[in-house]
Amino acid sequence: MRSRFHAAFAQLPASLQAALQPLLTDDHFPAMFSAQEVEALERQTGLDDDALAFALLPLAASCARTDLSHFNVGAVARGISGNLYFGANMEFAGTTMQQTVHAEQSAITHAWMRGEKGLVSITVNYTPCGHCRQFMNELNSGVKLQINLPGRKPATLGDYLPDAFGPRDLDITTLLLDERDHGFAPQGDELNQAAIAAANRSHAPYSNAPAGVALALRDGKIICGSYAENAAFNPSLPPLQAALNVLSLSGYDYSDIQRAVLAERADAPLTQWDATAATLNALGCQNLDRTLLD
Ligand SMILES: O=c1ccn([C@H]2C[C@H](O)[C@@H](CO)O2)c(=O)[nH]1
Ligand SMILES: [Zn+2]
């Protein structure tokens, strides 16, 4: 089991420890459980869906990277597939506040990057900030998304974000987690193709500037991130953040990154290039290439 989990794991109920132990042995445990694993965990522990998600929060929160705040937020998203996905906040020293990934954004984009098509609920150990409520309002689950917080009755996004501004106000009908293919043809080596595939899945209806990042790790693994725009623009999540999120949740470190590729349109009104290069630089990676979508 990765060392990050040790302290949180030790605090879990004994029955949950026993059920989880065999699933956590790999240092690169994917920070998610399939519907089948969830069913087995519930059978072995007697916990129901929501109780299991709450019980897993300390483990999710232990994935946080909070050099600035030391305030670890954990989230567990449940997909319509029945899978559970961890999320945790990430802060990036040497960059800007704007690069921060919130735990709720982390769980949501994690689910998306693993192919989930919609979310049923999100369980969080602190009340979601306004930025996260707005980020969640981009999802195809809409205001029906269930939000579970410690000590509160289950409520919906609609309860937490009344009178919301969202995609419909800008006449956008393709929502976050909807299946999307921008249709750019694969080109270049495997890493370039992975970045293009990530860009093809990106949610960029406001700028029409699809973008994706692929990271090649020293062990040969490739991790991808797709750009997720938001109707309110600022809560958008850059493609590098989406990739670093999966990397970190999967038990890798920034020093495991060997090479990165950003895929974006040459003639797009926005570019991810400078921000991607700056953040990667701060993480000690200078090996970034750009592949142009056409
Ligand atoms: O809803 C919230 C509020 C804050 N944070 C994180 C962001 C930052 O890393 C730290 C302090 O705000 O907590 C979240 O993850 N979710
Ligand atoms: Zn937040």
Ligand (nearest to CA of 98)? 1
pLDDT of the residue at 38: 98
Task: Please name the residue that has the structure tokens 């030391």.
Answer: 70
Query: What does the alpha-carbon distance between residue 102 and residue 208 come to, in Å, rounded to a whole number?
Result: 24
Across the chain, the runs of DSSP E, i.e. the strands, are: 32-33, 74-79, 84-88, 119-124, 146-148, 155-156, 211-217, 222-226, 257-265, 288-293
pLDDT reported for residue 115: 98
Question: Is the distance from the beta carbon of residue 98 to the nearest atom of ligand 1 less than 6 Å?
Answer: no
Burial track 30-47 (b if 16+ CB lie within 10 A, e otherwise): bbbbeeebbeebeeebeb
Nearest to 292 by CA among 192, 191, 180, 190: 192
For the chain, the straight-line distance linking the first and the last C-alpha, in angstroms and rounded, comes to 43
Backbone phi, then psi, for 195, in 5-degree steps?
-65, -40
Closest CA to 99 of 246, 260, 207, 241: 241
Active site residue 104: yes
CA torsion sign for 156, 159, 161, 165 is: positive
Q: Please indicate whether residue 149, judged by its CB atom, sits closer than 6 Å to ligand 1.
A: no
Give the model's pLDDT for residue 228: 98
Give me the pLDDT at residue 148, please: 98
Q: What pLDDT does residue 118 have? A: 98
Question: Does residue 280 line the site of ligand 1, with CB under 6 A?
Answer: no
What pLDDT score does 49 carry?
97
Distance 64 CA to ligand 2 centre (A): 13
Q: Which two tokens stand for residue 218?
A: 């020293």
Using CA atoms, how far apart are residues 118 and 2, in angstroms rounded to an integer? Answer: 29
Distance from residue 69's CA to the centre of ligand 1 (Å): 9
Nearest CA owner, ligand 1 atom 15: 102
All domains of the chain in start order, with CATH: 26-170 (3.40.140.10), 190-293 (3.40.140.10)
Amino acid at 155: A
Positive or negative: CA dihedral 118, 33, 133, 93 = negative
129 CB near ligand 1 (under 6 Å)? yes
What Å distances lie between residue 236 and 44, 56, 231, 240, CA to CA? 39, 27, 8, 12
| Per-residue confidence (pLDDT) for residue 104, from 0 to 100 | 98
Candidate of 65, 70, 71, 124 to mutate for ligand 1, largest count of ligand atoms within 8 Å of Cβ: 71
**Model pLDDT, residue 281:** 97
Quickly tell me which residue has 């290439």 as its tokens: 289
Q: Contact 61/72 with Cβ under 8 angstroms? A: yes
Ligand of minimum distance to the alpha carbon of 75: 1
Per-residue pLDDT of 131-156, as tens digits, reads 999 999 999 999 999 999 999 999 99
Active-site pick, 37, 39, 104, 229: 104
- Pocket flag, ligand 1, residue 100 (CB < 6 Å): yes
The pLDDT tens digits along the chain (294 residues) read 999 999 999 999 999 999 999 999 999 999 999 999 999 999 999 999 999 999 999 999 999 999 999 999 999 999 999 999 999 999 999 999 999 999 999 999 999 999 999 999 999 999 999 999 999 999 999 999 999 999 999 999 999 999 999 999 999 999 999 999 999 999 999 999 999 999 999 999 999 999 999 999 999 999 999 999 999 999 999 999 999 999 999 999 999 999 999 999 999 999 999 999 999 999 999 999 999 999
**Amino acid of residue 157:** L
Ligand 1: nearest atom to the Cα of 68:
9
